[in-house]
Structure 1
Amino acid sequence: MRTSCLLPLLCLPLLSQQTTTTYTKDLNGNIVPGATYSTVRSGNTTTTTETTEGVNGRRVPMQSVTERVLKDDSTGRVVERIIRRFDANGHPAETEKQQIDEKKNADGSISSTATTYRSDINGNYQLAERVVTDASKSGNTTNSTITVERPTVNGSLDVVERKVRVDDVGKNASKSDETVYRRDQGGRFVEASRVVKDTTEQDGQQVVNTAQYEPTESGRMKIASQTVARIRKNADGTESQEVDIYRNVPGRADTNATPALRERQIIEQRKVGDRVIETTSVQRPTVSDPNHLGAPRQISERICVGPNCK
């Protein structure tokens, strides 16, 4: 970290700051600033504040997240996270405290416990959730079981969700497969969703294929949506992306239908000094031609200012 020496015996560390604002267009084509995210890093503490335009036109805070690394060594890591939420006028509404304890296993995997406490109307903190991740690794494959527990009416913790995740990482390809189980009306854990992500790299391009599955009325898992992202690094370190989004067509009752191409996102980044400017354009089917994508239309521009912008 660089230092600023105002006096020979007084040196103060400089903070690392980064600001990101997204601009969109309203129905009249006017450019409207959206949320702004300001990040300040100092030592082992990082604070990110989200602000937006309030009801009176002033910019007001919506949420701030402060992360402090309490421990980071060969055995694991401990992080304290404080989330402060605000109402539409920027007044404090709720505070959430999290502690994430990560343990490095002998096989190279990482197990963790994340405990969340939320404040009540009197400012007292109550246990809200605990997420336990048990992981094991063999070769290039990591198996993880994630258990989500929440308090019952009598104060004890009860399992409300389970996730089973398998990650395979190779030199030029990787795959993750995560299935979420939740209780049905009979109290049994059944499949609620599944996400499969395949990533390949070839000729300087990364292709990420993500498929999301949901249960049908019969309980059988069926693909509901899919995204295919083609990502290429630019010479200045920025990225260019083309993302195809496939979804089931609304109103169709055919459960055997394959998701159709409903949108293409074109995301272009360029670097100007310490700024990264990212534009997002979309192509969507028109009413007159629902089977083909229309011409690209820019919908947003994101401007990040700071030394660590990506």
Structure 2
Amino acid sequence: MPNKGDTGKSYHLKCTGDALRTAEAHSEQSDLTLFGGCFCPFVQRVWVALEYFGIDYHVHEVDPYKKPSELLEVSPKGLVPALKFNGLEKPRSLNESVVILEYLEEYVSQSSRRKKGSLLPPISDPYARALVRLQADHVNRNLVPAFYRYLQAQDTEKQIEGGKEFVSAIEGLVKLFERAAAETDTDVGLWKEDGKLSLADAMAGPWLFRATNVLPHYRGFMMPEGAKFRAYIDRLVNYPAFRRTCSTEGLYLESYERYAYNRPNTSQVANAINSGRGLP
């Protein structure tokens, strides 16, 4: 293990860097409140989409492990992200990152709300839309759980196995990107040099970003070689809507120490990985 051992660092409760500036810009009350935790990649998915679409919202950072009552009111499991719709006669809220992403996509599909395009190809190209959804499905089924299995593995053999699984998941995603590029003419997706942010980019980005800081620090991980893949990662992490939701490296290294040493009851996600269950 490349670092010096478990130092007992705790997770952060307030974002830093670009993410802090974005949160401060959205500190005023709004019709829409995003409940989030600064280190959570599931939250970052939704935050990226909100920034991309240019939707007005208020950021409310909570401690997801303490599960305050205000969070439980909008997310029964106490998980982030969650959206709360304010100022309505009847209370409304949504939880689960994928559900929220799909809602935001449909919400902005109304022409009066469309500002910066879509995370999916146009509805006139259902095949291209389906291929992007296949990419997103691969992220949830393979990339995300592989990331946690790798990071939480404690013995060397399991870490080597986990690293191979994570690389395989990345390679599988690249194959799906290449398939879409070969079979469609869509400009949705940052795999193309002049592409626009896609649903799959927003869903995979938080974990690929953490693979550039958390995984190298705790597992000595190196991203797969290849100029095209490296260029994709560079476009992704520097995409304005994505970059605005990123904190400084130290926040991630300290917040993920608990995962890297697989401390007991680190999170519901960590517990699911340890028990072999699907992610919550």
Q: TM-score, normalised by structure 2?
A: 0.29
Question: Higher relative CO (CA 8 A, sep ≥ 6), structure 1 or 2?
Answer: 2
By percentage of residues, which structure has more strand? 1
